[in-house]
Chains A and B, each alone.
Chain A
Amino acid sequence: MAENPDNKRRDFLQLSTITLGAVGTAAFIWPFLKSMNPAEDTLALGTTEVDISSIEEGQSITVKWRGKPVFIRKRTKTEIEEAKAVNISDLKDPEQDVNRVKKEEWLILVGVCTHLGCVPLGQKLTDTKGEYNGWYCPCHGSHYDTSGRIRKGPAPENLPVPPYSFLNDTTIKIG
């Protein structure tokens, strides 16, 4: 039986049919899976321009960018000192304060806790700011410092800094 040349041809036909069928099915499924990714119009909401001239020292505002809250904070001298004085090796997600800002009084962060996506408290003057005087996430108790770095709690990473640029002294473009 095994020597019969027909068997080899059948094996080949069987294998190539299965392969072609599998590739075809995968190609058919792909557009369905891909359709669940963000649509073009969602992606197009990429940038937001913000006027920051009215923000006083020590104040914060929250703006919306890609559906997420973005924190813009004009830090006080003490807050900047605090952020700079931290020993990097003590941090869970080590990052220098200077690498997280473009102008050191302006701290711009995506206000979404890196644990499970809640919005941390600390934007309003009356909010609890946590043990490190930055932000505190009420959901599962993560504490962020005055540079938005994770200091205590379950969150694995610092609050991310979105891509942004200063168009002039009073306007920034996020995204």
Chain B
Amino acid sequence: MSGNLEPRKYKNPFLNWIEFRLPIISYFEREYGDYPMPKNCNYFWSFGALATITLMVMILSGIFLAMNYTPHTDMAFDSVERIMRDVNYGWLLRYIHSNGAAFFFIIVYIHILRGMYYGSYKYPRELNWILGVFIYLLMMVTAFMGYVLPWGQMSYWGATVITNLFSAIPVIGEGLKTWLLGDYTVGNATLNRFFALHYVLPFVILGVVGLHVAAVHVHGSNNPAGIDIKSKNDTVKFFPYMVMKDALATCIFGVIISTVIFFGPNLMAEVDNYIPADPLVTPAHIVPNWYLAPFYAILRAIPDKLGGVVLMFGSIAILFVLPWLDRSKVRSCNFRPIYKWFVMLFFINFFVLGYVGMLPAEGLYLLIARIGLVYYFGFFLIITPFIHRIETPISLPMGISDVYLGAGEKKPILNSQKEII
């Protein structure tokens, strides 16, 4: 029969049967087996894998939580309490999901900062960066909607404040807000649609993650030296080297997140969210989740409603054009003696903004938020586009293998690499 004519690439005939009809085996072999990774990549390059794994865990725990959750204003809060008290291991599922969300953002923030520091967004990986920012945006929307579902006081008032941002838009704002809410205030219609969207958006994220990974595999991963792969000697195979490295990173991450889930599950939670939502009483202090707090700080730093909203959305939108704002040809900050410090200051500034975003917007905190806001935009609009004019980069190594060259110990390292391969 025709089966005899089919190519026999693998020992296992079943794999050959699949491969002939859908070349998925060779695809995985190429992209996750032989895929060449620069051999100088450090552990910052494990955070993409960690983020993917966390996304899977979030989807899995979310599906099982949804089996016991009721998206109705009269029952949502109680159904979450029932998950906590009566559903078998419900408490574990919920704590995995709520802390998983926080750790997802920690991982993604490190992943983004890695990309910024080592210039991973530059030619030819601009589209890859844009897809990444898009994932980040989807994550924020999904996390916000998820936070509304337990229907506690913070859920309700957080939703009220964020949806009211849209009412700042001239002319169409009020109508747009009502359309988003499906009611004049945050109500049952809102809770219902937020649940529907919170369920579906992670799968959209999964799709964009697929594109994000496919895009990075076209030109290969960046590396701490920020220079291109020139020969096979510059790389190691994804399997087993990177798989083992990412596996170790995953184990360490697992230890850290488990410690929080089991010993401090409410460390990153707001106590007010254990009070059922009350549309007639606003909590004295509405606190956003910490991972959205930097943008909340920017919103409140401006004494004008529309101005604050424009800058808040602008602070996210500006990330999309970063590849075109940075005019320097050198990717890695390891070779950019001045910009390096501005990037590090940007990271610190982002966390300071997040810190003041969770405190009342008054006095010193407001002043700090305003200074942070100025630096945030100053970094993107002044420092990043113009710093290369006054900065002399350190000379780049000729190739990735040269990174390892100390004085007089050239060959041994190269040889040993070859032997391993």
Contact = CB atoms under 8 A, between A and B. Distances in A.
Contact of B182 (A42, A115, A116, A119): A42
Given A36-B193, A42-B183, A118-B160, A154 B308 contact: yes
Contacts of A116: 160-161, 164-165, 305
Given A37-B182, A68-B185, A117-B161, A138 B280 contact: no
Contact of B303 (A62, A137, A154): A154
A118 B361 contact: no
A119 B164 CA distance: 13
B361 A141 contact: yes
Interface stretch (B22-30, B45-53, B281-289): B281-289
Contacts of B281: 119
A4 to B, nearest CB: 41
Nearest to B184: A66
A29 B193 CA distance: 17
Nearest to B283: A138
A69 B279 contact: yes
B304 A118 contact: no
A38 B285 contact: no
A138 B284 CA distance: 6
B180 interface: yes
Interface in B260-314: 279-282, 284-286, 300, 302-306, 308
Contacts, number: 82
B179 interface: yes
B42 to A, nearest CB: 42
B393 interface: no
A117 B187 contact: no
Interface in A19-60: 33, 36-39, 42
Contacts of A36: 179-180, 182, 193
Nearest to B304: A154
Contacts of B300: 140, 154
B129 interface: no
Given A66-B185, A116-B161, A141-B361, A38 B178 contact: yes
Contact of B282 (A42, A64, A139, A156): A139
B282 A138 contact: yes
Contacts of A118: 157, 160-161, 282, 286
B187 to A, nearest CB: 5
A139 B160 CA distance: 12
Interface string B159-196: 01101110100000000001110111101010001000
B279 A64 contact: yes
B74 interface: no
A67 B187 contact: yes
Contacts of B285: 138-139
A115 to B, nearest CB: 6
A72 interface: no
B179 A119 contact: no
Contacts of B163: 117
Contacts of A156: 304-306
Interface in A139-165: 139-141, 153-156
A42 B182 CA distance: 9
Given A64-B279, A154-B303, A38 B182 contact: yes
Nearest to B73: A67
A20 B183 CA distance: 34
A45 to B, nearest CB: 9
B34 interface: no
A67 B305 contact: no
Contacts of B6: none
Nearest to B302: A154
Contacts of A112: 185
A112 B157 CA distance: 12
Interface in A100-127: 112, 115-120
Interface in B324-365: 361-362
B182 A155 contact: no
Given A42-B184, A62-B280, A116-B164, 13 more contacts: A42-B182, A66-B185, A67-B185, A116-B165, A117-B164, A117-B185, A119-B280, A119-B281, A139-B282, A139-B285, A140-B300, A154-B304, A155-B305
13 contacts: A37-B182, A42-B182, A42-B184, A42-B187, A66-B185, A67-B184, A67-B185, A69-B279, A117-B185, A119-B280, A120-B282, A138-B284, A140-B300
Interface of A: 33, 36-39, 42, 62, 64, 66-69, 112, 115-120, 137-141, 153-156
Give the 9 A-B CB pairs with smallest separation, nearest first. Answer: A117-B164, A67-B185, A118-B282, A116-B164, A116-B161, A119-B282, A117-B160, A66-B184, A69-B280
